[in-house]
Structure 1
């Protein structure tokens, strides 16, 4: 695994968990909102696996943040709609 991949895994892990807790969702509720199995969602929050592009897009919409924020490209969470 490259340093960039490790950074991305860690960033997504932290942001998925932080944003989920901010909304007060359980992991099960979040998995349902994202239309992924709970086991898959747990691997994202544990930093074991990267979500696919559609899951990242759905998460950005669910949390009302930019994809850039989820991916660690910006520290500004909100989208400029």
Structure 2
């Protein structure tokens, strides 16, 4: 069973969790469609991850950390 990562505090206006996903992608000059292809999902699904409309499976979180060469804690805003 795949576990999902849910935003820690979705009540705050600027949730670092989702902001970091977008910032990392843009810092690497990548399009949502490219990241989605890397994860093996549709672009619309990845877009929902960034916008906070869908939780991210742990396996995708790990792949994103590997792609961007950061820790999962960094993506989650814990570091």
Q: How many residues align?
A: 71
Q: Which has the higher helix share?
A: 1
Structure 1 pair 23–4 and aligned structure 2 pair: CA distance change class (3 A):
closer
Q: Which moved more, 1:35-44 or 1:17-26?
A: 35-44
1:78 is matched with none
Structure-to-structure mapping, 1:44-59, within 5 angstroms = 44-59=49-64
CA-atom RMSD, angstroms? 2.0
Q: Normalized per residue, which structure has more strand?
A: 2
Residue ranges of structure 1 left out of the alignment (5+ in a row) = 75-81
Q: Aligned pair 1:21/2:26, yes or no? A: yes
Pick one of 4, 22, 42 that aligns with 2:8: 4
Query: Where in structure 1 do 4 or more consecutive aligned residues deviate above 3 Å?
Result: none
TM-score by length of 2: 0.79
Q: Which of 61, 65, 70 lines up with 1:60 in the alignment? A: 65
Q: Cα deviations across residues 2-50 of structure 1 (Å, max 9, x unaligned)?
A: x93416xx32210110000001001100111122221110001111122
Q: TM-score, normalised by structure 1?
A: 0.77
Secondary structure of 1:4's match? Answer: coil
